[in-house]
Structure 1
Amino acid sequence: MNFLYISPTFPKYYYNFCDALKKKGITVLGIGDTPLEKMNQEMKDSFQEYQYLPSLENYDDLMKATAYFIYKYGRIDFIASNIEYWLESEAKLRDDFNIARGIRGEAIEEVKIKSVMKDLFIKEEIPTAPYEMVTTFRKAKTFAKHHHYPLILKPDNGMGAMHVHKIHNGKELAHFFGEIHDYNYIMEDYVDGIVETYDGLCNSKRDVLFDSSMIFPTPLMDIVNGQKTSVSIIQKDVPKDLRQLGQKILRLFPSEGSFFHIECFRLKKDCAGYHKGDLVVSEVNMRLPGGHIPEVMNYIHHVDLYEMYAQMIQDDTTTQKAQRDYYGVNVGRRNNGKYHYKSREIKYKYQDQLVMVEHVPAVLSDALGDTSYVAKFKTMQEVRSFINECTK
């Protein structure tokens, strides 16, 4: 079995997927933009062979590198990066080389294009905020006339909170459309709620092998745009209604043999036609939560997601069972932030609870902060105390 892994060294932990696959006897072939001489030995040992490309953005080079591997090793059975940025390139490679497993063709739009995603939610009666494609100022004004400010403008094909805008009034709307933008935008009702995610791994039959859930007390849009301290909490267990809704969604989308990250809002008050406490779905992603979060899940749930993924690829199942004894909390501080407690004080006071302190790469720091403090606790009271002292 031949497995092509794209960008296996970013985020830095992802080479562990290659290592776990290789230990299963799978031939692992890597293509990435990190020169071989800049890798440590563990990374180098995780591949059968690796090709360096100065940029993975050049699809012709990516296709030629894949063709070389096929010439040398035979047919590629799987392609993955587990990163949203490369999902479209993966799908194109599957189409061009007729690789059956994974998302292909137009199916990629269901997990990349927000309007396609939302139309499917509406068709299947999945709760979601009303929206409209707004290619002109006139269309945006019409939508705003029939809905209440604030409203959200986001790229139809975008990632995370990049280029997402909260519009409070007609003046801000006019200003937005007075500027030149590189994206097609959708406009939707603002949903006042706490972000809850449904995260995990599906096998080829879309059965959930592992699941988890995070809470973001502050919306990611506000964290990124306001450069605020990033806080997320991994719940001990997934709430029943979130699990039911998440698994219904996974049956509608191309989730076979994939990690997933479904973002919802738990409403703080009645809005957008829904009631306080309801779950309203924002979007679906067929990849892991970003950065070092998979490592955090490993610590909190006492699993090995790298080995679990490799076993799913080989046997379509897992023998691991997640433990649900602890809450996890991730606080991402800013380098320019003024905090009452210094890093050394946090590390000393919580030395028994901290599981990692991580310096976040610049490309991920807008959402995750510059330095991430990850700890686990038995109670939410302890979680809140930790958050208060890290953010004070």
Structure 2
Amino acid sequence: MNYILISPYYPANFQPFAHRLKEAGVNVLGIGEEPYNQLGSELQNSLTEYYRVNNLEDVDEVKRAVAFLFYKHGPIDRIESNNEHWLELDAQLREQFNVYGNKSDDLKKVKYKSEMKKLFKKAGVPVVEGRVVKTKEELSKAIDELGLPVIAKPDNGVGSAATFKLDSEEAVHLFEEEWGEAQVYFLEPFVEGGVLCTFDGLVDQKGNIVFQTSFTYNVPTLELVNGQLDMAYVIQKEIDPKLETYGKAIVKAFGMKERFFHIEFFQLENGDYVALEYNNRLAGGYTVDMYNFAYSIDLFEQYASLVAGEEFKESDAENKFCVGVTQRDAYEYKHDTDAIYERFGDCVKFAQRIPEAFAKLQGNQFYAIVADSQEEVDDIIRFVHERKH
């Protein structure tokens, strides 16, 4: 089996995809921008061949790379990055070379917020009603219908990028000036008091969920960025049955196969949920590592098993909470890394700097710490976030 990994080097914590695929007997071929000697010996040893391109954004250059690897190694069975940024590139390459998996047309339902809403409704899952707006006239009409405050985000966009909270006439005018009708936006009412949470997992080649989990944020991502707040999110030991029911219905409606999924919800004050967004990939950052810590599992290995046609193997260990908690360089905290290790000992699974590209959203220093109870979770967050002043 020939498997092309797009960008095998970055992000660094995704490099185990290459290692585990090779261990599963897969012929792993890499295409990326980094020079070969930058990959390091472990990644070099996991790749049968590495083709360096000048720019992964140059689709024609990447297609030439795939064509070369096809010519040299035979038909390609998989092309994958597991990375939000390259999902469209992956799909275009699969289409060009007739490779298993999502093609460009299949991505429409996971790229556009408006299309996601249709499938959420089809799955019988509550949503917040939204409006697509292309002009200032449509924006004005949508605000009249929905009322303020609303959240405005690109209909085809990633995460909280270019997202605005419109809570006054002044905010609307500022948005209009910045927007300039340059792209299609999606408007939906702002959910007061909602807790941002997820239903995440992995589906096999038949579309069956073989792994599922959920995590909860301390604050919604838009507020996190705008306020430069301290971030914490927690992998849950158990999934709320109502959230699980909604999540499974959505996974069935989207009909994906041999993929990770990351579905975002707001939990309302009445305990119900509204579906926000379906992401056809792993949650970003160090979240996959946190899943592994919480459930004593190696999801890189389990994914490789599925690709190779083997069964998913569940862990026998008892689930734990895993807290992802960050500190920002702009603030002075009472407790540094040494103090955190001293307080929580072996429960600290790692401490890492966050890449600059994600620092504005998440913070600069990241800790993954496991816990057995909600009380321990609260104590971890309080201790790490406690400031000097």
TM-score category (smaller protein): over 0.9
| In 2, Cα distance between equivalents of 1:322 and 1:283 | 31
The one-letter amino acid of 2:303's match is: Y
Q: What TM-score comes out, normalization by structure 1 length?
A: 0.95
Following superposition, the deviation at residue 179 of structure 1 comes to 2.4
Offset of residue 14 of structure 1:
1.4
Alpha-carbon separation, structure 2, partners of 1:10 and 1:216: 25
Residue 16 of structure 2: aligned partner: 16
Q: Is 1:75–2:69 an aligned residue pair? A: no
Please list the CA deviations of residues 53-106 of structure 1 after superposition, one character each: whole Å capped at 9, or x if unmatched.
12210001110000001000111111111011111111111111111x211131
- 2:123 and 2:249 in contact (8 A); partners too: no
Equivalent residue runs for 1:117-266 within 5 Å = 117-180=116-179, 182-192=182-192, 193-266=194-267
Counterpart residue number, 2:325: 331
1:224–1:316 distance in 2 versus 1, CA, 3 Å = farther
- Give yes or no for the alignment of 1:94 onto 2:88: no
Partner Cα distance (1:211, 1:124) in 2? 18
User: Among 263, 282, 285, which residue is 2:276 paired with?
Assistant: 282
Whole-angstrom CA distance in 2 between matches of 1:176 and 1:385: 39
Relative distance call for 1:322 and 1:67 in structure 2 (3 A) is: farther
SS at 2:224 equivalent: helix
Q: Return the TM-score normalized by structure 2.
A: 0.95
How far is the alpha carbon of 1:324 from its aligned partner? Answer: 4.3
Alpha-carbon contact 2:30-2:47 (below 8 Å) kept: yes
Matched length: 384
Greater shift after overlay, 48-57 or 343-352? Answer: 343-352
Tell me, yes or no, if the aligned pair for 2:132 and 2:187 is still in contact at 8 Å: yes
CA deviation vs aligned residue, 1:182-209 (integer Å, no higher than 9, x gap): 4321111112310111111100111111
Unaligned runs of 5+ in 2: none
Distance 2:310 2:89 in 1: 24
Alignment match of 1:386 (pick from 380, 383, 386): 380
Q: Distance in 2 between matches of 1:224 and 1:64?
A: 39
CA distance in 2, matches of 1:10, 1:188: 34
Separation (CA, whole Å) in 1 of partners of 2:328 and 2:210: 35
1:322 Cα deviation from its structure 2 partner? 6.4
User: C-alpha distance in 2, partners of 1:204/1:357?
Assistant: 35
Q: Cα offset for 1:345?
A: 1.8
Q: Hey, what's the Cα distance between the residues in 2 that align with 1:183 and 1:254?
A: 28
Query: 1 CA distance for matches of 2:3 and 2:70?
Result: 11
Residues 4 and 28, structure 2, Cα contact 8 Å, conserved in 1: yes
SS of alignment partner, residue 13 of structure 1: helix
CA positional deviation for 1:323 = 4.0
Q: CA deviation at 1:378?
A: 0.8
Task: Give the 3 Å change call, closer, same or farther, for CA 212–322 of structure 1 in structure 2.
Answer: farther
Amino acid in the other structure paired with 1:105:
S
Check the 8 A contact 1:16/1:46 in 2, yes or no: no
2:12 paired with 1:40: no
* Alignment partner, residue 273 of structure 1: none
Taking the aligned partners of 2:113 and 2:106, their CA distance within structure 1 comes to 13
The Cα shift of 1:243 comes to: 1.3
1:4 aligns with 2:4: yes
Q: Secondary structure at the match of 2:5?
A: strand
User: Which segments of structure 1 move beyond 4 Å, counting only runs of 4 or more?
Assistant: none
Amino acid at match of 2:175: F
Deviation at 1:386, TM superposition (A): 1.0
Q: Which amino acid aligns with 1:346?
A: I
Q: State which of 299, 305, 322 in structure 1 corresponds to 2:299.
A: 305
Superposition deviation, residue 325 in structure 1: 2.9
Q: Say which of 353, 359, 378 aligns to 1:359.
A: 353
CA contact (8 A) 2:337 2:351 kept: no
Find 2:335's aligned residue among 338, 341, 360.
341
Q: 1:115, 1:133 within 8 Å by CA — same for their partners in 2?
A: yes
Name the amino acid aligned to 2:104. Answer: G
| C-alpha contact (below 8 Å) 1:197/1:214 kept by paired residues | yes
Percent of residue pairs bearing the same amino acid type: 32
| Native 8 Å contact 2:320 2:370 kept in 1 | yes
RMSD: 1.4
Contact 1:203 1:316 in 2 (8 A): no
Contact 1:107 1:254 in 2 (8 A): no
User: Is 1:57 matched up with 2:57?
Assistant: yes
TM-superposed CA distance for 1:340, in Å, is: 2.5
User: CA contact under 8 A between 1:149 and 1:168: conserved in structure 2?
Assistant: yes
What corresponds to 1:318 in structure 2?
Answer: 312
Structure 1 residue 123: deviation in Å?
A: 4.0
Q: Is the 8 A contact 1:203 1:258 kept in 2?
A: yes
Q: Distance in 1 between matches of 2:23 and 2:172?
A: 54
**Residues 31 and 52 in structure 2, CA contact (< 8 A), matched pair in contact too:** yes
